[in-house]
Amino acid sequence: MNRTKSQELFSRAQARIPGGVNSPVRAFMSVGGDPVYFKSGRGGTFVDADDNEYVDLCLSWGPLILGHAHPAVVEAVIDAARGGLSFGACHEREIQIAELILSAFPYHEKIRVVSSGTEAVMTAIRLSRGVTGRPLILKFDGCYHGHVDGLLVKAGSGLATQAIATSQGIPESITACTLTCPLDDEQALREIFRVHGGQIAAAIIEPLPANAGLLVQRTEFLELLRELTRANQAILIFDEVISGFRLRFGGYAGILGITPDMTTLGKIIGGGMPVGAVLASAATMDQLAPLGKVYQAGTLSGNPVALAAGIATLNQLSDGAAYMHLEDLGWLMESELRSSGIGCQRAGSILWPYLSSGEPPRRPDAVSSEAINRFNSIHRPVLERGYYLPPSAWEVCFLCTSHTPEQIRGFTRVLAECLRG
Ligand SMILES: Cc1ncc(COP(=O)(O)O)c(C=O)c1O
């Protein structure tokens, strides 16, 4: 493939943008080579600056469940934009999206809409601390919750549960308020609550961890987390920024049969535009300003154009038909990968080819470095054959309603060929 224009654009970008990118994983650092510059997308494919077309298996990291430029979403955005880009004041779409989202989360009563998943998590953390009057947050190794200071952490050494920062610029006084626990480890979880239970404001977890591969958890582990948070009056936050509306019209919590106290959302609820949200009981949510003393605000929160994209996307999903179609596509990809001998973990339309044999990992430290190296070595050859995988072995693939069985079969054939070398 000729990518002269992409290369020129990347050179220009590097002169003015750190690493040439506005979000680090886009820089292709772990898979090597230069990033590709895109100019348009439609359905399950997008086109780069040199007019090469790719089947998109990254889909903007999850929001584009209907694919690129879905006509209903684009129409809604154009219509909203004609009526004004931002009001900084109240409008009806705020109520429409609140009602639509809450109809799918019957265990929550109120919602605050923000502009990103990170902002939603940040709000959820502050609100949890405000409501409980406690300082500590429990996080699980391998889960990602956006670039919130106190959550950019990894486990400390030895038996300590005290977190250490994974980024410079985060004072110890902040990480001192985060505890970490391995996924899939009941004993460690019990011990943390035994020692710190009375000081934990909230435990935050991706109920379907999808940021260090797809680390599907045993329901018993999540049930224990629910039990311990309840027994210790700590808030259980399900971070469903990826899983919310991805597998069903609602949360992954509904599949698990576990009810969290708070949910954070993002990605799909914005349909490709910047929208995040926090949901909880009315009593909890009313602790937010202006009614309560926990402050949170945003110039562009509930932006009318962004909400138009979110509402249009959710309306396309609400009758459930899209999920049946996505399940069929997901199953096709999983079975094609397996019949080519490629290990694959899947939840609906989220797939993670983990490129090693044996049981799918449930913790990041169970992922072999050979599998990571294998992914890094095939990323470029797969790209050259017209399939855009997320540029990191730790990232999952997403399918959209407009992917076709031919595209999926084409991808699995190419992946198998590239793995054979
Ligand atoms: C589970 C989870 N929470 C929070 C975030 C942060 O969302 P955003 O990138 O919109 O800030 C992400 C982003 O990928 C995520 O996967």
- Using a 6 Å cutoff on CB, does residue 206 contact ligand 1? yes
- Using a 6 Å cutoff on CB, does residue 118 contact ligand 1? yes
Q: In a mutational test of the pocket of ligand 1, which residue from 25, 113, 122, 144 has the highest number of ligand atoms less than 8 Å from its CB? A: 144
Active site residue 387: no
What are the tens digits of pLDDT across the range 44-67?
Answer: 999 999 999 999 999 999 999 999
Nearest CA to ligand 1 atom 14: 146
Q: Give me the mean pLDDT over the 317-324 stretch.
A: 98
- Per-residue pLDDT band for 160 (boundaries 50, 70, 90) equals low
Q: Give me the mean pLDDT over the 413-419 stretch.
A: 97
Domain 4-69+320-420 has CATH 3.90.1150.10: yes
Q: In a mutational test of the pocket of ligand 1, which residue from 119, 205, 242 has the highest number of ligand atoms less than 8 Å from its CB? A: 242
Active site residue 144: yes
Using the mean position of ligand 1's atoms as its centre, give its distance from the Cα of residue 267 in Å.
Answer: 8
Q: Give me the mean pLDDT over the 251-271 stretch.
A: 98
Q: In the chain, what are the domain boundaries?
A: 4-69+320-420, 71-317
Q: Give me the mean pLDDT over the 287-301 stretch.
A: 98
Using the mean position of ligand 1's atoms as its centre, give its distance from the Cα of residue 5 in Å.
Answer: 30
Using the mean position of ligand 1's atoms as its centre, give its distance from the Cα of residue 51 in Å.
Answer: 30
User: What's the confidence (pLDDT) of residue 161?
Assistant: 63
User: What's the confidence (pLDDT) of residue 356?
Assistant: 86
Annotated active-site residue in 267, 354, 387, 388: 267
User: What's the confidence (pLDDT) of residue 358?
Assistant: 84
User: What's the confidence (pLDDT) of residue 155?
Assistant: 82
- Using a 6 Å cutoff on CB, does residue 311 contact ligand 1? no
Please give the share of the chain, as a percent, with pLDDT higher than 90: 95
Please give the share of the chain, as a percent, with pLDDT higher than 70: 99
Active site residue 239: yes
- Using a 6 Å cutoff on CB, does residue 363 contact ligand 1? no
What are the tens digits of pLDDT across the range 11-37?
Answer: 999 999 999 999 999 999 999 999 999
- SS3 track for the chain: CCCHHHHHHHHHHHHHCHHHCCCHHHHCCCCCCCCCCEEEEEECEEEECCCCEEEECCHHHCCCCCCECCHHHHHHHHHHHHCCCCCCCCCHHHHHHHHHHHHCCCCCCEEEEECCHHHHHHHHHHHHHHHHCCCEEEEECCCCCCCCHHHCEEECCCCCCEEEECCCCCCHHHHCCEEEECCCCHHHHHHHHHHHHHHEEEEEECCCCCCCCCCCCCHHHHHHHHHHHHHCCCEEEEECCCCCCCCCCCCCHHHHCCCCCEEEECHHHHECECCEEEEECHHHHCCECCCCCECCCCCCCCCHHHHHHHHHHHHHHCCCHHHHHHHHHHHHHHHHHHHCCCCEEEECCEEEECCCCCCCCCCHHHCCHHHHHHHHHHHHHHHHCCEECCCCCCCCEECCCCCCHHHHHHHHHHHHHHHHC
Annotated active-site residue in 37, 54, 144, 323: 144
User: What's the confidence (pLDDT) of residue 110?
Assistant: 99
What CATH number should be reported for the domain whose range is 71-317? Answer: 3.40.640.10
Using the mean position of ligand 1's atoms as its centre, give its distance from the Cα of residue 145 in Å.
Answer: 5
For the chain, the average pLDDT equals: 96
Give the position, in ligand 1's atom list, of the atom nearest the Cα of 211.
16
User: What's the confidence (pLDDT) of residue 416?
Assistant: 96
Could you tell me which residue, 337 or 155, shows the higher pLDDT?
A: 337
Does 159 have pLDDT greater than 90?
A: no
Q: Does the pTM exceed 0.85?
A: yes
Nearest CA to ligand 1 atom 3: 145
Nearest CA to ligand 1 atom 13: 146
Q: In a mutational test of the pocket of ligand 1, which residue from 116, 267, 268 has the highest number of ligand atoms less than 8 Å from its CB? A: 267
Give the position, in ligand 1's atom list, of the atom nearest the Cα of 118.
11
- Using a 6 Å cutoff on CB, does residue 116 contact ligand 1? yes
- Per-residue pLDDT band for 83 (boundaries 50, 70, 90) equals very high
- Using a 6 Å cutoff on CB, does residue 237 contact ligand 1? no
Annotated active-site residue in 56, 239, 252, 323: 239
Does 243 have pLDDT greater than 80?
A: yes
- Using a 6 Å cutoff on CB, does residue 242 contact ligand 1? yes
Give the position, in ligand 1's atom list, of the atom nearest the Cα of 117.
7
What are the tens digits of pLDDT across the range 201-235?
Answer: 999 999 999 999 999 999 999 999 999 999 999 99
- Using a 6 Å cutoff on CB, does residue 145 contact ligand 1? yes
Does 330 have pLDDT greater than 60?
A: yes
Give the position, in ligand 1's atom list, of the atom nearest the Cα of 239.
1
Does 158 have pLDDT greater than 60?
A: no
